[in-house]
Homo-oligomer: A and B are copies of this chain.
Amino acid sequence: MYNDCALNCERCLKKLCARGIPVFAGLEYSQLERIAGLTEHRAYAKGDVVVEENSRPGFVAIVSGGGMKAYKHTPDGREQILYVFSEGDFFGEQSLLFDKPSAYRVAALQPSELCILRKEAFRSLLLDHPDIGMKVIEELGWRLEHLENAVQNMGVRNLEARICTGLLELAGKYGETVPEGVLVHMPLSREGFANYIGIARETASRKLGQLEDGRVIKPAGGRAILICDVHALEAAAGLGVSI
């Protein structure tokens, strides 16, 4: 399932500092050292399940490398991706205050590393550092907004708007501005992307093909996509999402 990781605390600590993990932003180096001392490090291979739906993980995990998908699945195998987590994101918020079972499964999209804080450790951190609590609440607020948008997308908006919104959303997190436009390093396969926006894999292919024909996007090797015409994409997305 997972390997106790060979990463030493020093490396993790560097990461905590260097990457500016949001929930720990603003803490002193010495405080980060203390946190690093509390964390356990685990590495996962692609496909490994980190948290099972309805289980009580008992820890809060911060992604220190790679990426994770959080998804719900039906008995007939259809999966709906709720979140994509990458470096600096955390999950396991169910363990934060009261032990609620996780509403979703979390699995690694790539070989990944996690910093794990057992719930007791995280709670004691919260007591000592109210800032962290604030950051957590802020993050939950963003997560709510993300889902509120997702519900609207799936409820009342057409396929094209959903694709474009999904692309722009991922561009915001995984995109880099280059002279030709915005280069998005997609964390998800086509199938994953389809499961993220709630459409069929084939349909995602088709519509992305149309966007290519319209010179709005261009494949850029591997999973990368170059958004050539951001404005067209935003117009098609229709409302309220910008990179």
Contacts and interface: CB of A to CB of B under 8 A. Distances in A.
A210 interface: no
Interface stretch (A25-33, A39-47, A94-102, A183-191): A94-102
Copies of this chain assembled into the complex: 2
Interface of A: 72, 74-75, 78-80, 82, 93-94, 96-98, 100, 103-104, 133-134, 137-138, 140-141, 143-145, 147-152, 154-157, 195, 197-198, 238-239
Given A147-B144, A148-B104, A79 B156 contact: yes
Contact of A93 (B141, B143, B195): B141
Contact of A72 (B78, B94, B104, B148): B148
A74 B239 contact: yes
Nearest to A198: B155
Contacts of A156: 74, 78-80, 198
A74 B137 contact: no
A163 B238 CA distance: 28
Nearest to A199: B155
